[in-house]
Structure 1
Amino acid sequence: MRKPPAAQSENLDVLVVDDDEAGLLDLIASLRRAGLSCLGASTGWEALEALLKGPVPSVIVTDIRMPELDGLELAQRLGRMDLARLPELVFISGSADLGHAVDAIRLRARDLLTKPVDLRRLIQIVRDVQLERQAQSLSKATPHRDDMPVHGKPDARMQSKSVDVEAMSIVVLSNLRKLRRVRSENLPAGLAVEASWEILLDLYVSELRSERTSLTALGGSAGVPLTSGLRRIHELESKGMLMRTPDEKDRRRAAAHLTEKGRETVQSFIRSYVTFCRESDSQHADK
């Protein structure tokens, strides 16, 4: 089993399952460069063993065609396991056909990707799953509108409180990513999402999670080629919205951080967005 560095083992983002040794190692390396913690398994049985020992990943990326226990059988066994939360499934295949697509839908897979894997698409799937899960956790910890006084209308004291930016950030950013995905699906092919805004959002989320983000990982997860991502990072740095800090152990590497200007840019938008949503809810409640 291919294990990530010890520092990543407590929090697992992705488990990759593929009997193609070279493809497995290459995909693991690419996901790690994007800042994701990752484990690898070369057989379905090895993957099940990893799940039993923990930690349970947010996403399992598995090849469909494997000897002994293939990806579809792995997914079926996964559904019968006693796990607090089942991982999301992404199937990969060198020759996916209609039958595979039907099987993927039946097993409620998140996506079916053909080899060579579209890395940017896979990273975005993992990011979406992470944000959705954090949004779900946050929604369980906050009162439902039906629990509010005066026939579902917010209490006056709640309306007068300032927006808790950090508490609402995961929900807002999750919704923004969904909106961006829908928007991009209805645009002509070849139009990319604005990478500079993606970089600011990713850095802000990383700060909330107390995560250190390298320049390479940040540029690789921006939804554009790495060279374009690094160019956007340089532009944001020149505008005073982010800064880089050299790695004390390796001066050739550097981490990215939001400046006060960059942080306030994101928080200002979140405040406006949350205020708009509250006003919208209030208008619907009055009708």
Structure 2
Amino acid sequence: MINCRIIFLGDEARLAGLHRVPGWEILPAGNDPLAVVANLALLPADSEVPEGLIDRLALPLLVAVGEAPAAHWLDRADGFVLAGDDADTIATVASSVLNAGTGWRVAEQAGTAQHISALSAEAQRIADALAELARSTEQEGEAQVSAPMVRRLIRLRRDRDRHFPADLFGDPAWDMLLDLVAARMEGVDVAVSSLCVAAAVPTTTALRWVRSLSEAGVFVRRTDPGDARRAFITLSDQAHDAMIGWLRRFATVFALR
């Protein structure tokens, strides 16, 4: 339970469900949002609010994601409220945003939606498996692993969709892991919106995975050093080492060049 004054930068008709969150006081932006005293800003992900206004508010930003989110809001959000989140989950995410650095914990709240708890448990299982893989591959041979090899593997996964229904394979976490390990080898930063595209699933599904894998320590959220308004997602060092270990095994078995 948190006590939080939140300025909502959108049509109040879109606040269905959010008023029920314990400890929230929803404040309309009114004609002068800068005069509103609040702890946190909340806006819809398709909002046309000028980014300069968000800069001047200087508040942590919680984005409510619907059907057509704007990429720039996804990339600068401190946290996400997603379709299907229950009141406890929303309150927990808001609390994490207000206490930056504690992680987006969504699995330990009483009453949290069952599918969210299951997703968090799966994310933790992935984290544990990656940790074990990292330990077991420390003595592996030095088979060559490259970003082009990983990109080729990703393309093969996308080609799969030409032969089977895309929703037959529910593994967005693996697609994101592959994209992040390739990006790290290329020295490329990956924004949240780009990672959602790489997941090849609806944005809200991808964001649930980003949130849960961040909680599990597989993903690390890092502020853009050149623009503090944006955030990038990277693999934790342990997750990266585990992925490199698996890719070396893959390269050895299939002799990719």
Q: Which has the larger radius of gyration?
A: 1
Q: TM-score, normalised by structure 1?
A: 0.37
Q: TM-score, normalised by structure 2?
A: 0.40
